[in-house]
C-alpha cells in the first residue's frame, strides 16, 4: 500500500498503486489533462507558460504531468516564415 498526497486538495490517502490525485479530485485531474492534450494537438510547439495562460491551469501543474510521465517532450522542427518585408 502506498500513502499518497493529492496534488489538488492535499488530502492524504492510501492506494495499491502510486497515485497523484484522490478519488474526489480524479475527475478534475482528468479534465485538466484532456484540456492540455487537446490544446497541444492544436498548438504542438507550446511550452508550459503558453498552455498555462491559454487554459487557466498553473504552469506547475503542466510540468507535473511531465514529471508523472503523462506528457512527453518531443523535439519537432520549426519552419522559417518567409520574409515579407
pLDDT tens, N- to C-terminus, the chain (85 residues): 999 999 889 999 999 988 889 999 999 999 999 999 999 999 988 889 999 999 999 999 999 898 888 888 777 666 676 777 6
Give strand pairing partners of 3: 14
Helix or strand or coil: residue 44?
Answer: coil
pLDDT of residue 85: 62
C-alpha cell at 44: 504542438
Q: 47-76 burial, b if ≥16 CB within 10 A, otherwise e? A: ebeebbeeeebeeebbebbeeeeebeeeee
Q: Is the pTM of this model over 0.85?
A: no
Residue 51 pLDDT: 94
pLDDT at 34: 94
Residue 83, pLDDT score: 79
Asked if 48 and 62 touch (Cβ cutoff 8 Å), the reply is yes
Amino acid at each position: 500500500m502506498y500513502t499518497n498526497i493529492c496534488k489538488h486538495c492535499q488530502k492524504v490517502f492510501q492506494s495499491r498503486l502510486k497515485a497523484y490525485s484522490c478519488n474526489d479530485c480524479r475527475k478534475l485531474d482528468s479534465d485538466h489533462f484532456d484540456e492540455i492534450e487537446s490544446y497541444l494537438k492544436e498548438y504542438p510547439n507550446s511550452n508550459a507558460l503558453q498552455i498555462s495562460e491559454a487554459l487557466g491551469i498553473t504552469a506547475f501543474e503542466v510540468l507535473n504531468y511531465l514529471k508523472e510521465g503523462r506528457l512527453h517532450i518531443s523535439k519537432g522542427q520549426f519552419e522559417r516564415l518567409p520574409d515579407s518585408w
